[in-house]
Amino acid sequence: MKPITNRVKQVERKPLTFWESIYLISIAKGLMITLKHFFSKKATISYPEKQRPFSPVFRGLHVLNRDEEDRENCTACGLCALACPAEAITMEAAERLPGEENLYREEKYAAKYEINMLRCIFCGFCEEACPKDAVYLSQTVPPASFKRQNFIYSKEDLLIPKKATN
């Protein structure tokens, strides 16, 4: 049969010599490699005691920001939900009622704001699309869980807690 390309190389099998047949040289080479790695610096990190620093561009859990007066920055414009390629963000807008000026910054606010972290790909497009700097991705790692419901974060889970008033 004729080969398709000219890269074919015929392999020759020559018989092993006596020293090659008892594998002592190969075993000694393997032991040298093992000893070299035994005395080198370890690549693993003892996780609970030591933590590896994250990259400056690491994107973790989402956070909804507040302004200087502890009012919510989110105006429910929906740009973060539109920018999300995984469609992980859902929101419902509501009108601010009289007397709620200290809670919400604008006339419109997000009555319901949910992020499904199982769908989120941590791309950061929601952070870039927000005109009010209301949503940003923190340096916090999402916690592990066995229940799917624990990965759907509501507005109360994402909001920065209010500052304590003295």
pLDDT (0 to 100) of residue 142: 85
Gap between the Cα atoms of 72 and 162, Å rounded? 10
Q: Is residue 52 part of a domain?
A: no
The secondary structure of residue 102, as a DSSP letter, is: T
Residue-number span of the structural domain to which 70 is assigned? 59-155
Answer yes or no: is pLDDT of 165 > 70.
no
CA nearest to 148, candidates 124, 119, 111: 119
Q: Is residue 146 part of a domain?
A: yes
Q: Is residue 1 part of a domain?
A: no
Answer yes or no: is pLDDT of 2 > 80.
no
Mean pLDDT, rounded, for 82-111: 90
Q: Is residue 65 part of a domain?
A: yes
Which residue ranges are tagged as binding site?
Answer: 74, 77, 80, 84, 120, 123, 126, 130
Query: What CATH number should be reported for the domain holding residue 128?
Result: 3.30.70.3270
Name the pairing type of β-strands 135-137 and 62-64: antiparallel
pLDDT (0 to 100) of residue 104: 87
Q: Is residue 148 part of a domain?
A: yes
**Number of domains present in the structure of the chain:** 1
Which residue ranges are tagged as binding site for [4Fe-4S] cluster?
Answer: 74, 77, 80, 84, 120, 123, 126, 130
Q: Is residue 121 part of a domain?
A: yes
**Average per-residue pLDDT for the chain:** 89
Q: Please state the pTM of the whole predicted model.
A: 0.68
70: helix, strand or coil: coil
CA nearest to 138, candidates 129, 127, 149: 127
Gap between the Cα atoms of 120 and 55, Å rounded? 19
Q: Is residue 63 part of a domain?
A: yes
pLDDT (0 to 100) of residue 1: 66
Q: Is residue 40 part of a domain?
A: no
Mean pLDDT, rounded, for 85-103: 90
